Amino acid sequence: MGNCPFCQNRIQEVVFDDTRNFMALYNIAPIFPGHSLIVPRRHVQSVMELTTPEFEELMDFTRRVTVDLLDVFKANAFNWTLQDREAAGQTLAHLHVHIVLRFPNDLPDPGDWYPLVKQNYGEILDSAHRPHLADKDMQTIVHRLRHRTGFKGE
């Protein structure tokens, strides 16, 4: 928890924030346009640490954010990914769900997603290994998403 970027308020890309327990962030290094994260406000590493009401809220919020992302980015498919603890490839010890929008022909075969993740041994999901968005591009996207939901920002 000491240097967790989610807990230290070093994350400025909040785009959806209408629940008591969770927020949605736009990924600074998106795999595909729309790639966002659902993050609990309190520091938990595992989905198993959530209460049943929190788990239900997580699923509902993730679904609602996904619906908005699909609309804003004109996508019609998505992957949800959650690496729970280090052995599963979790690189940041704070629970987060990736919403990765999918587009026609984004990969040669849609099923290539799984070999791509396996080949990169999780690096594709670790933003440290992907090019980061320029600040101006991030602000443009965040503004567009906030406008869609009416979220005013922090």
Question: pLDDT tens across 28-65, in order?
Answer: 888 889 999 999 999 999 999 999 999 999 999 999 99
Half-sphere exposure of 35 (CA within 13 A, CB side): 18
pLDDT at 9: 66
Catalytic one of 96, 129, 132, 143: 96
* Whole-angstrom distance, CA of residue 5 vs CA of residue 19: 20
* Whole-angstrom distance, CA of residue 58 vs CA of residue 22: 7
81: which 2 tokens? Answer: 């990914």
Per-residue pLDDT tens over the stretch 88-131: 878 889 999 999 999 998 888 777 766 666 555 455 555 566 67
pLDDT at 16: 78
Q: Is the pLDDT of residue 26 over 70?
A: yes
Q: Is the pLDDT of residue 17 over 50?
A: yes
Residue 139: strand, helix, or coil: helix
Walk me through the domains of the chain, giving residue ranges and CATH numbers.
14-137 (3.30.428.10)
pLDDT at 121: 46
DSSP label at residue 58: H
Cβ pair 65, 16 in contact under 8 A = yes
* Whole-angstrom distance, CA of residue 5 vs CA of residue 115: 29
pLDDT at 99: 95
Q: Is the pLDDT of residue 151 over 70?
A: no
pLDDT at 128: 62
* Whole-angstrom distance, CA of residue 101 vs CA of residue 106: 10
Residue 89: strand, helix, or coil: coil
Phi, psi of 45 (to 5 degrees): -90, -35
Per the annotation, the verdict on 96 as an active-site residue is yes
